[in-house]
Amino acid sequence: MGVTTGNLNKAVNRNLERFPDDFMLRLTEAEFNDLRFQFGRSRWGGTRTLPRAFTEQGVAMLSSVLRSPRAALVNIEIMRAFVRLREMIATNRDLARRLDELEKRYDAQFKGVFDAIRQLMAPPAKTRRSIGFRVEEAGPRYRVRRVRRRA
Protein backbone atom coordinates (compact mmCIF):
# COMPACT_ATOMS: atom_id res chain seq x y z
CA MET A 1 0.00 0.00 0.00
CA GLY A 2 2.79 2.45 0.89
CA VAL A 3 6.43 2.91 0.03
CA THR A 4 9.10 0.92 1.83
CA THR A 5 11.77 2.72 3.83
CA GLY A 6 14.44 1.50 1.45
CA ASN A 7 12.64 2.93 -1.60
CA LEU A 8 12.03 6.19 0.25
CA ASN A 9 15.74 6.51 1.07
CA LYS A 10 16.69 5.73 -2.53
CA ALA A 11 14.31 8.40 -3.86
CA VAL A 12 15.69 10.98 -1.41
CA ASN A 13 19.31 10.09 -2.26
CA ARG A 14 18.56 10.45 -5.98
CA ASN A 15 17.00 13.90 -5.40
CA LEU A 16 19.11 15.46 -2.62
CA GLU A 17 19.08 18.87 -4.36
CA ARG A 18 15.33 19.04 -3.68
CA PHE A 19 15.82 18.80 0.09
CA PRO A 20 17.69 21.83 1.50
CA ASP A 21 18.47 22.07 5.22
CA ASP A 22 15.10 23.59 6.08
CA PHE A 23 13.27 20.67 4.41
CA MET A 24 15.24 17.72 5.80
CA LEU A 25 17.75 17.04 8.56
CA ARG A 26 19.59 14.08 10.04
CA LEU A 27 18.96 13.14 13.65
CA THR A 28 21.89 13.31 16.04
CA GLU A 29 23.08 10.21 17.87
CA ALA A 30 21.43 11.42 21.10
CA GLU A 31 18.12 12.15 19.35
CA PHE A 32 18.18 8.74 17.68
CA ASN A 33 18.88 6.97 21.00
CA ASP A 34 16.05 8.90 22.62
CA LEU A 35 13.73 7.95 19.77
CA ARG A 36 14.78 4.31 20.01
CA PHE A 37 14.06 4.39 23.73
CA GLN A 38 10.59 5.85 23.07
CA PHE A 39 9.73 3.06 20.62
CA GLY A 40 11.24 0.31 22.75
CA ARG A 41 13.48 -1.03 19.98
CA SER A 42 16.68 -2.90 20.60
CA ARG A 43 20.08 -1.72 19.47
CA TRP A 44 20.76 -4.84 17.39
CA GLY A 45 19.99 -4.76 13.70
CA GLY A 46 18.29 -1.91 11.93
CA THR A 47 19.88 1.11 10.34
CA ARG A 48 23.59 1.79 9.93
CA THR A 49 23.11 5.51 9.30
CA LEU A 50 21.23 8.04 11.36
CA PRO A 51 17.64 8.52 10.16
CA ARG A 52 16.31 11.61 8.45
CA ALA A 53 13.54 13.88 9.66
CA PHE A 54 11.40 16.00 7.31
CA THR A 55 9.68 19.32 7.88
CA GLU A 56 6.25 20.10 6.39
CA GLN A 57 7.90 21.39 3.21
CA GLY A 58 10.05 18.27 3.09
CA VAL A 59 6.99 16.03 3.25
CA ALA A 60 5.44 18.03 0.40
CA MET A 61 8.63 17.55 -1.60
CA LEU A 62 8.64 13.83 -0.76
CA SER A 63 5.16 13.47 -2.20
CA SER A 64 6.41 14.91 -5.49
CA VAL A 65 9.54 12.72 -5.57
CA LEU A 66 7.84 9.40 -4.79
CA ARG A 67 5.90 7.53 -7.44
CA SER A 68 3.12 5.81 -5.57
CA PRO A 69 -0.65 6.30 -5.66
CA ARG A 70 -0.66 7.55 -2.07
CA ALA A 71 2.11 10.09 -2.78
CA ALA A 72 0.13 11.39 -5.75
CA LEU A 73 -2.97 11.81 -3.56
CA VAL A 74 -0.94 13.66 -0.91
CA ASN A 75 0.49 15.96 -3.56
CA ILE A 76 -3.02 16.73 -4.88
CA GLU A 77 -4.26 17.52 -1.36
CA ILE A 78 -1.30 19.84 -0.76
CA MET A 79 -2.10 21.75 -3.94
CA ARG A 80 -5.78 22.00 -2.94
CA ALA A 81 -4.78 23.32 0.49
CA PHE A 82 -2.68 26.06 -1.14
CA VAL A 83 -5.60 27.03 -3.38
CA ARG A 84 -7.96 27.20 -0.36
CA LEU A 85 -5.44 29.31 1.53
CA ARG A 86 -5.11 31.71 -1.41
CA GLU A 87 -8.91 32.00 -1.62
CA MET A 88 -9.15 32.76 2.10
CA ILE A 89 -6.53 35.50 1.82
CA ALA A 90 -8.27 37.02 -1.21
CA THR A 91 -11.64 36.92 0.58
CA ASN A 92 -10.17 38.65 3.62
CA ARG A 93 -8.60 41.36 1.43
CA ASP A 94 -11.88 41.85 -0.40
CA LEU A 95 -13.71 42.15 2.93
CA ALA A 96 -11.19 44.71 4.22
CA ARG A 97 -11.52 46.77 1.01
CA ARG A 98 -15.32 46.76 1.23
CA LEU A 99 -15.16 47.74 4.87
CA ASP A 100 -12.91 50.70 4.01
CA GLU A 101 -15.40 51.85 1.37
CA LEU A 102 -18.32 51.61 3.81
CA GLU A 103 -16.36 53.44 6.48
CA LYS A 104 -15.70 56.33 4.11
CA ARG A 105 -19.39 56.52 3.26
CA TYR A 106 -20.75 56.30 6.82
CA ASP A 107 -18.16 58.01 8.95
CA ALA A 108 -19.05 58.94 12.53
CA GLN A 109 -22.38 57.11 12.83
CA PHE A 110 -20.97 53.61 12.64
CA LYS A 111 -17.42 54.11 13.93
CA GLY A 112 -17.99 51.70 16.83
CA VAL A 113 -19.40 49.06 14.48
CA PHE A 114 -16.43 49.35 12.12
CA ASP A 115 -13.97 49.14 15.01
CA ALA A 116 -15.69 45.99 16.29
CA ILE A 117 -15.58 44.37 12.84
CA ARG A 118 -11.88 45.20 12.49
CA GLN A 119 -11.21 43.58 15.85
CA LEU A 120 -13.01 40.44 14.69
CA MET A 121 -10.94 40.38 11.49
CA ALA A 122 -7.62 40.74 13.33
CA PRO A 123 -5.77 37.51 14.10
CA PRO A 124 -6.09 36.46 17.73
CA ALA A 125 -3.31 37.49 20.07
CA LYS A 126 -1.16 34.56 21.10
CA THR A 127 -1.25 33.91 24.81
CA ARG A 128 1.49 31.96 26.48
CA ARG A 129 0.30 29.14 28.65
CA SER A 130 2.34 28.33 31.70
CA ILE A 131 4.05 24.98 31.76
CA GLY A 132 3.69 22.72 34.73
CA PHE A 133 1.18 21.47 37.22
CA ARG A 134 -0.84 23.88 39.30
CA VAL A 135 -2.66 22.88 42.48
CA GLU A 136 -5.78 24.94 43.05
CA GLU A 137 -6.50 23.84 46.61
CA ALA A 138 -4.30 24.24 49.63
CA GLY A 139 -2.93 20.86 50.59
CA PRO A 140 -1.68 19.65 53.94
CA ARG A 141 1.73 20.80 55.04
CA TYR A 142 4.03 17.90 55.61
CA ARG A 143 6.44 18.19 58.42
CA VAL A 144 8.85 15.62 59.70
CA ARG A 145 9.08 15.51 63.44
CA ARG A 146 12.35 14.29 64.69
CA VAL A 147 12.50 12.44 67.95
CA ARG A 148 15.27 13.57 70.17
CA ARG A 149 17.09 10.80 71.84
CA ARG A 150 18.35 11.36 75.30
CA ALA A 151 21.85 10.24 75.92
Closest-CA residue to 92 (of 122, 137, 57): 122
Q: What is the Cβ-side half-sphere exposure of residue 12, based on CA atoms within 13 angstroms?
A: 22
Range of the domain at 22: 1-67
Q: Are 90 and 58 in a shared domain?
A: no
Predicted local distance difference test score (pLDDT) of residue 97: 80
Q: Are 11 and 53 in a shared domain?
A: yes
Confirm whether 136 is domain-assigned.
no
Confirm whether 28 is domain-assigned.
yes
Confirm whether 4 is domain-assigned.
yes
Q: Are 95 and 57 in a shared domain?
A: no
Q: Are 9 and 54 in a shared domain?
A: yes
The rounded distance, in Å, linking the Cα atoms of 114 and 7 is 56
How many domains in the chain?
Answer: 2
Q: Are 42 and 102 in a shared domain?
A: no
Confirm whether 138 is domain-assigned.
no
81, 60 Cβ separation under 8 angstroms:
no
Q: Are 48 and 18 in a shared domain?
A: yes
* pLDDT per residue as tens digits for the range 73-107: 877 887 788 778 778 777 877 777 877 777 777 66
Confirm whether 123 is domain-assigned.
no
Q: How confident is the model at residue 14 (pLDDT cuts 50, 70, 90)?
A: very high
Predicted local distance difference test score (pLDDT) of residue 139: 64
Confirm whether 139 is domain-assigned.
no
* pLDDT per residue as tens digits for the range 27-58: 888 888 887 766 665 555 666 788 888 887 88
- Tell me, yes or no, if the pTM score tops 0.85: no
Whether the pLDDT of residue 23 is over 80: the answer is yes
The rounded distance, in Å, linking the Cα atoms of 147 and 50 is 57
The rounded distance, in Å, linking the Cα atoms of 66 and 11 is 7
